[in-house]
């Protein structure tokens, strides 16, 4: 894919679009959430929900360092026994949520994940307690369901990995981002390649079935040659999965502050050049992985074709349906009618304040912050999160859930995608699937499906 964005748009007779508008990993976005005036009880929210195939997510908001590109809900370090207080609060929350699920019908978890932050910031003993919260408080059988855990090179120690392997972890995801020292420094991610390789060796020694390695493209100074150095260094470990992320510079992050301090407000030409660099590196990475025995699952996710399928969890964190239980102050929960969480921030002082409020809380029986999801938004969410998968959306599945067709519900949006060549015209009848160009432009296509109401709420969100 070497055609420029401008040339592609001209060919289609359409105005140019930015290929990197936003990474859509959930919809509606958390910046569209607001304090809930009615503060509904969790028991009422979950009373009529199917509870026989829930997903469980536990969020640990701590890291040893914060990378320059990171806008996740996480803080650096945990002084004065903060991790103990956090786990105490997590246990209180788990008890309240499990009570709210009730005993009227079967409650079963079909998948689990520990994310952050960096869950392995916790000590081995604290990870044991985290697993106990999931199992003894929530009732999740971690040894019989897919369990994915995020880690970092500095915290992937043998004792922590041994705990996770023993407790049933089936997937470890490690954020490497780049094996090239200069690129790691440019991304404000202090690490040594020797330490990264040692961590990968320990993960393989732990014999956890699925290893995922995260890499980033679009870093300042990165070239096709240096990008291939990182790709080949990752491939040497034969990871079952690889995620290739385009670099974003988000407000309130370290890279954004560096740019602002240097007076480096990106002009239109600079932005276009960066877009072209990322599109080019995406194509190089995609083609390299496809040539080395991987299949594309989404714009970001690639899976080794001989990877163990029975061990894997939800693909690319796609949760088109509902039934997500999130524990921790950075986690979301999804019911059919409401998506809810706690307050969201990127600024470190605000994050510390939110964590402090979470650890001091005693009552977790009500939803505090969220966004109600009506029938139209549910359709939009299902289309968006299905279409962003390489496998596409079977129209029959959509019709069975909503009683309508996506083409009738979203005629303008789908016509626009088709006009740009983003839909696969060769897909079998009844399958709505992106073309290679459409997958490459997932971060433009996803936001194009946001509703006016969600867009307005996101625009009105006050960053903190």
Report whether pLDDT(9) > 70.
no
Mean pLDDT of all residues in 55-64:
91
Structural domain contains residue 48 = yes
pLDDT given for residue 320 in this prediction: 45
Report whether pLDDT(4) > 60.
no
Structural domain contains residue 362 = no
Report whether pLDDT(246) > 70.
yes
Task: Label residue 132 by pLDDT band (50, 70, 90).
Answer: very high
252 and 146 both lie in a single domain: yes
Mean pLDDT of all residues in 1-6:
41
Task: Label residue 25 by pLDDT band (50, 70, 90).
Answer: confident
Mean pLDDT of all residues in 142-171:
97
Nearest to 161 by CA among 191, 189, 196, 119: 119
- Domain residues for the domain of 395 are 5-25+375-460
Task: Label residue 13 by pLDDT band (50, 70, 90).
Answer: low
Structure confidence by residue, pLDDT tens digits, 351-386: 888 899 999 999 999 999 999 999 999 999 999 999
Q: Which residue has the higher pLDDT, 44 or 330?
A: 44
16 and 61 both lie in a single domain: no
307 and 455 both lie in a single domain: no
Please provide the average confidence, as pLDDT, over all residues in the chain: 88
17 and 77 both lie in a single domain: no
71 and 13 both lie in a single domain: no
Structural domain contains residue 257 = yes
Q: Name the pTM for this structure.
A: 0.90
248 and 391 both lie in a single domain: no
Report whether pLDDT(318) > 50.
no
Structure confidence by residue, pLDDT tens digits, 259-296: 443 334 445 657 888 899 999 999 999 999 999 999 99
Task: Label residue 217 by pLDDT band (50, 70, 90).
Answer: very high
287 and 426 both lie in a single domain: no
For the chain, the domain total comes to: 2
Distance in Å from the first CA to the final CA of the chain: 38
∠ CA(81), CA(346), CA(329), 5° rounding?
50
95 and 135 both lie in a single domain: yes
Residue 60 to residue 136: CA distance in whole angstroms:
18
Structure confidence by residue, pLDDT tens digits, 175-199: 999 999 999 888 767 789 999 999 9
∠ CA(3), CA(247), CA(236), 5° rounding?
90
Structural domain contains residue 290 = yes
As given in the structure block, the two tokens for residue 108 are: 């079963």
121 and 12 both lie in a single domain: no
Task: Label residue 394 by pLDDT band (50, 70, 90).
Answer: very high
Report whether pLDDT(401) > 70.
yes
pLDDT given for residue 265 in this prediction: 45
143 and 263 both lie in a single domain: yes
**Residue that is last in its domain, among 270, 286, 317:** 317
The helix (H) or strand (E) run that includes residue 45 is helix 42-46
Structural domain contains residue 211 = yes
CB 217 within 8 A of CB 287: no
264 and 202 both lie in a single domain: yes
Structural domain contains residue 334 = no
Question: Could you tell me what percentage of the chain is helix, strand and coil, using 3-state DSSP and rounding each to the nearest 5?
Answer: 45, 15, 40
Report whether pLDDT(334) > 50.
yes
Residue 133 burial by Cβ neighbours in a 10 Å radius (0-12, 13-18, 19+): buried
Strand partners, 302: 242, 296
**Residue that is last in its domain, among 317, 349, 383:** 317
Structure confidence by residue, pLDDT tens digits, 335-354: 999 999 998 776 778 888 88
126 and 196 both lie in a single domain: yes
**Residue that is last in its domain, among 283, 317, 351:** 317
pLDDT given for residue 370 in this prediction: 96
């Amino acid at each position: 894919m070497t055609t420029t964005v401008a040339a592609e748009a001209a060919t289609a007779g359409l105005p140019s679009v930015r290929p990197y508008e936003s990474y859509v990993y959930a919809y509606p976005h958390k910046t569209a959430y607001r304090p809930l005036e009615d503060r509904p009880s969790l028991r009422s929210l979950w009373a009529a929900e199917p509870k026989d195939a829930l997903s469980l997510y536990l969020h640990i908001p701590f890291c040893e360092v914060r990378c320059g590109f990171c806008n996740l809900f996480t803080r650096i370090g945990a002084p004065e026994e903060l991790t103990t207080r956090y786990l105490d609060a997590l246990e209180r929350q788990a008890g309240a949520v499990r009570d709210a699920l009730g005993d009227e019908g079967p409650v079963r978890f079909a998948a689990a994940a520990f994310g952050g932050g960096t869950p392995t910031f916790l000590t081995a003993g604290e990870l044991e307690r985290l697993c106990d919260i999931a199992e003894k408080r929530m009732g999740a059988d971690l040894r019989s369901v897919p369990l994915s855990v995020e880690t970092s090179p500095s915290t992937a120690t043998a004792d922590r990995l041994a705990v996770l392997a023993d407790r049933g972890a089936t997937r470890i995801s490690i954020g490497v981002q780049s094996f090239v020292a200069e690129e790691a420094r440019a991304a404000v991610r202090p690490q040594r390649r020797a330490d990264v390789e040692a961590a990968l060796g320990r993960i393989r020694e732990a014999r956890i079935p699925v290893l995922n390695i995260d890499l980033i493209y679009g870093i300042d100074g990165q070239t096709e040659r240096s990008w291939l150095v990182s790709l080949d260094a990752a491939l040497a470990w034969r990871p079952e999965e690889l995620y290739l992320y385009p670099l974003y510079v988000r407000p309130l992050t370290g890279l954004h502050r560096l740019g602002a301090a240097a007076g480096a407000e990106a002009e239109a030409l600079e932005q276009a050049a960066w877009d072209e660099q990322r599109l080019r590196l995406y194509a190089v990475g995609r083609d390299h992985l496809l040539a080395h025995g991987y299949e594309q699952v989404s714009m970001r996710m690639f899976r080794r074709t001989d990877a163990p399928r029975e061990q894997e969890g939800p693909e690319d964190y796609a949760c088109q349906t509902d039934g997500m239980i999130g524990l921790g102050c950075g986690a979301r929960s999804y019911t059919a009618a409401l998506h809810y969480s706690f307050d969201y921030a990127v600024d470190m002082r605000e994050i510390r304040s939110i964590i402090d409020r979470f650890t001091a809380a005693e009552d977790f029986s009500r939803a505090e912050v969220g966004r109600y999801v009506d029938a139209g938004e549910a359709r939009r969410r299902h289309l968006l999160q299905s279409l962003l998968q390489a496998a596409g959306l079977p129209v029959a599945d959509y019709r069975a859930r909503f009683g309508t067709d996506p083409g009738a519900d979203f005629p303008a949006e789908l016509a626009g995608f088709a006009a740009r060549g983003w839909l696969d015209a060769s897909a079998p009848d009844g399958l709505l699937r992106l073309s290679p160009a459409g997958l490459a432009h997932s971060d433009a296509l996803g936001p194009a499906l946001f509703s006016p109401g969600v867009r307005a709420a996101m625009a009105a969100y006050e960053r903190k």
